[in-house]
Structure 1
Amino acid sequence: MPHAPQRKIPATYMRGGTSKGVFFTLSDLPEAAQRPGEARDKLLLRVIGSPDPYEKQIDGMGGATSSTSKAVILSKSESPAHDVDYLFGQVSIDKPFVDWSGNCGNLSAAVGPYAIANGLVDASRVPDNGMAEVRIWQVNIGKTIVAQVPMTHGQVQETGDFELDGVTFPAAEIPVAFMDPADGEGAIFPTGNLVDDLEVPGVGVLKATLINAGIPTVFINAQAVGYTGTELQDAINGDAKALAMFETIRAHGGVRMGLIEHVDEAANRQHTPKVAFVAPPASYTASSGKAVDAESVDLLVRAMSMGKMHHAMMGTAAVAIAAAASIKGTLVNEAAGGGDRAAVTFGHPSGSLRVGAQASLVDGIWQIDKALMSRSARVLMEGNVRVPVESH
């Protein structure tokens, strides 16, 4: 019997920070997928190559890791205070769902370049040379991101000498500011505490900092779960017992933070919260073979994303690290030595990263005015993705 041909959809494959994903302009999507719902989710799942029981995403654009199983939908913003609306979807690798519950901080760095190149930013706001300020409305969490995009002769400058651990080649630096980065209207500390006692079956009672900045994150001490903070991916991702433990911690942290009502709901909310463990500085060899000296970092952080240890650090989790480090008494601040800190350099599996945050105490409640970091981004491929007609 005859089969319908594939449909072509304009798309751009981009790296942003230590992630990469498929970028779309909203108006280029099939009409049914221009609205939230099943049609949109089915389309993105098919584009990325999910659900894949082999967990390889061979038949799609995904790269079989949380860092490479992502989709972005952009549109010109109707708000005069913003240039572009940015919607992020974390596509599950082996399950049939797209998680819309949070942002991707790494891909945030690619939003500005894409928006400029695709006419989503008013030309009057884009200089021929210098820095173009792109005001981004992050739809998932309802927050503003401001990216500084370098321009040369009227084109986005992608090449440069900025090096980012976790990315092989240098590129142009893109400073990104996450304004008031608490997720939605929630408090920075959902429980009202800088440190909570989190009871986790099979693990015990863990000290935890539950913070909602950049992305909801559960921070625990590495030593409390038998680690040093110098671990690389293989030490965790090849250990089924460890992965199950971290997922249990994540589920119970999600309940305590009010993100879910019961631990069973965590399975369908893989993107948030994140779990990360922290430790004081120590020397180790990064996954690239680069030596990270204890003297070069303020603390060590390892983070879990979509059930596995991340190869570097999620951008939104870096925002959470910056925010927690800036507030005395959190586990992150204590791992960094305590005291007042406007910025920290933390060690991760691929190397290190410097992040900063401005925190203030207003009427006894902590708030983060903004978090800052530098990333890079570039177009990897542009044109069309093809999907079978039945997938949209």
Structure 2
Amino acid sequence: MTSVGDDILAFDVVANAITGMSMKQMKIAATYMRGGTSKGVFFALNDLPEAAQVPGAARDALLLRVIGSPDPYGKHTDGMGGATSSTSKTVILAKSGQPEHDVDYLFGQVAIDKPFIDWSGNCGNLTAAVGAFAITQGLVDPDKIPANGIAVVRIWQANIHKTIIAHVPMCDGEVLELGDFELDGVTFPAAEVLVEFVDPADEAGAMLPTGNVVDELDVPGVGCFTVTLINAGIPTIFLNAQDLGYDGTELQEAINGDVAALAKFELIRAYGALKMGLIQSIDEAKTRQHTPKVAFVAPPQEHSVSSGKTVTIHDVDLLVRALSMGKLHHAMMGTAAVAIGTAAAIPGTLVNLAAGGQARTSVRFGHPSGTLKVGASATQQAGEWQVEKVSMSRSARVLMQGWVYIPADTIA
């Protein structure tokens, strides 16, 4: 048995440990949304504490605590994250300051086991939810929103300085979220949202950063690979599955449990980023985890996807598997789908060759959860390839809305 003195001593230890710490929580208006095959926590900029309304340490600290990172257990038990790259995401929206745009969209990819948020790229999947959130939050001019029909929301993607157009279905003055559109990688059907990525190539440089549709990438200690390097949607390194010892039908467990394979992919990603001019030294890759992506392609073959459904050679033009934040994605990142559609439209890329090599304005590819069709049209001007627009259908739905709570001293 413990004595009264022991209990008092224990209380004193606890009291001393929390001296100087705030014992209160702050609450912040937030919406938890699914967009495409991802989900994340959405904020209106004006709802954030003043210190977090501008980029910097306070904003990062707040969002890390919301998600529950860094979490050495890799579970996000004490936060809103789902402990995967698809579910450790944050979005901040504001009425747009850009001409002819409705809303500014800023995306933060939150690392799971590190105190780090990558602001270098977009999330194409969550883009599908941006228009709906903007409408419900009053960020879009009411005159632009029909009571019934399609609301066209022009989005300024603030991470990459690009225009995205979301076609949001409306019914009786409200965003229509439910419907019969099925998206592989999402359990339940919902309303279809058409998303168009306008001029998706990286504004900072050429869409093909080396000027070549294929290159040789030498990765010390790993090997030399034929690759296609592209800046469209999100910087992406494409490889042939066969060169990696794969056939393109792999599911998550085949790669994510292989420590050696993941280490090899990270080295490929780092040296690919260097060749693309995204970083100046290999060490910089550690601070740029969200981009570039690594993907491998293969010609079609019949196989089973994660749901157990069979995909035949007639269902797809090619197979693609992509890694995000160091792990094989359970479906396909929306931005990587833009890169796939763009590369498929350019003759001679590894993506185009895996799809048969012919000219095309759309491609249907297989991913670990099923298939996805992406439309893109490429033209060559003054020797450089350009893509005007890439489009795809996604869906989105509000999962929860209200307040998210974090310790009040998080951004003190």
Other-structure match for 1:229 = 248
Give a deviation string over 1:138-175, Cα, whole Å, max 9, x none.
00000000000000000000000000000000000000
Q: Choose 1 or 2 for highest CA Rg.
A: 2
Offset of 1:126 from its aligned partner? Answer: 0.2
Partner of residue 408, structure 2: 389
Instruction: List per-residue Cα deviations over 1:245-277 (Å, max 9, x = no partner).
Output: 100100000000011111111111110000000
Q: Does 1:112 align with 2:115?
A: no
1:168 equivalent in structure 2: 187
Equivalent in 228, 233, 238 of residue 209 of structure 1: 228
The AA in structure 1 aligned to 2:175 is V
Which residue, out of 308, 317, 326, partners 1:307? 326
Can you list the C-alpha shifts for 1:48-101, whole angstroms capped at 9, x where unaligned?
Answer: 000011111110000000000000000001223100000000000000010000
The letter of the residue matching 1:389 is: A
State the alpha-carbon separation in 2 of the partners of residues 217 and 340 from structure 1: 21
Q: Tell me, in whole angstroms, the C-alpha distance in 2 between the residues paired with 1:188 and 1:131.
A: 31
Q: How many residues are aligned here?
A: 392
Correspondences of 1:101-180 after superposition (within 5 Å): 101-180=120-199
Residue 34 (structure 1) aligned with residue 49 (structure 2): no
Residue equivalent to 2:9: none
TM-score normalised per structure 2: 0.94
CA distance in 1, matches of 2:75, 2:241: 30
In the other structure, the counterpart of 1:320 is: 339
SS at match of 2:209: coil
Indicate conservation of the 8 Å contact 2:360/2:377, yes or no: no
How far, CA to CA, are the matches of 1:211 and 1:100 in structure 2? 19
The DSSP-based 3-state class of the residue aligned with 1:168 is coil
SS at match of 1:264: helix
Which of 174, 188, 207 aligns to 1:188? It is 207
Cα separation, 2, equivalents of 1:51 and 1:245: 24
Task: Please identify, of 257-266 and 126-135, the stretch whose mean Cα deviation from structure 2 is larger.
Answer: 257-266
Q: Secondary structure at the residue paired with 2:266?
A: helix
Aligned AA (2:288): R
Q: Does 1:359 align with 2:382?
A: no
Corresponding letter in the other structure for 2:169: P
| Counterpart selection for 1:100 from 119, 125, 136 | 119
2:74 is aligned to: 55
Native 8 Å contact 2:91 2:107 kept in 1: yes
Q: Select which of 289, 293, 296 maps to 1:274.
A: 293
Residue 10 of structure 1: CA displacement?
A: 0.2
1:334 matches 2:357: no
Deviations 1:110-149 (A, max 9, x none): 0000000110000000000000000000000000000000
The partner residue of 1:220 within 229, 239, 258 is: 239
3-state SS of paired residue (1:51): coil
Q: After the TM superposition, which residues 277-296 of structure 1 pair with which residues of structure 2 at under 5 Å, given as runs? A: 277-296=296-315
**Following the alignment from structure 1 to structure 2, what is the Cα–Cα distance between the partners of residues 203 and 162?**
43
Provide structure 1 residue ranges, at least 5 long, that are not aligned to the other structure.
none
- Shift, 1:202, TM fit: 2.3
Unpaired runs of 5+ residues, structure 2, are 1-14
Q: Summarize the alignment of residues 370-381 of structure 1 with structure 2, pairs less than 5 Å apart.
A: 370-381=389-400
> What SS class does the counterpart of residue 46 from structure 1 fall into?
helix
TM-score, scaled relative to structure 1: 0.99
Give secondary structure in 2 for the equivalent of 1:50.
Answer: coil
Q: State the SS of the aligned residue for 1:295.
A: coil
Q: CA deviation at 1:203?
A: 2.2
Which stretch of structure 1 is more off in the superposition, 54-63 or 261-270?
Answer: 261-270
In 2: Cα distance, 1:32 partner to 1:367 partner: 40
Task: Name the structure 1 match of 2:107.
Answer: 88
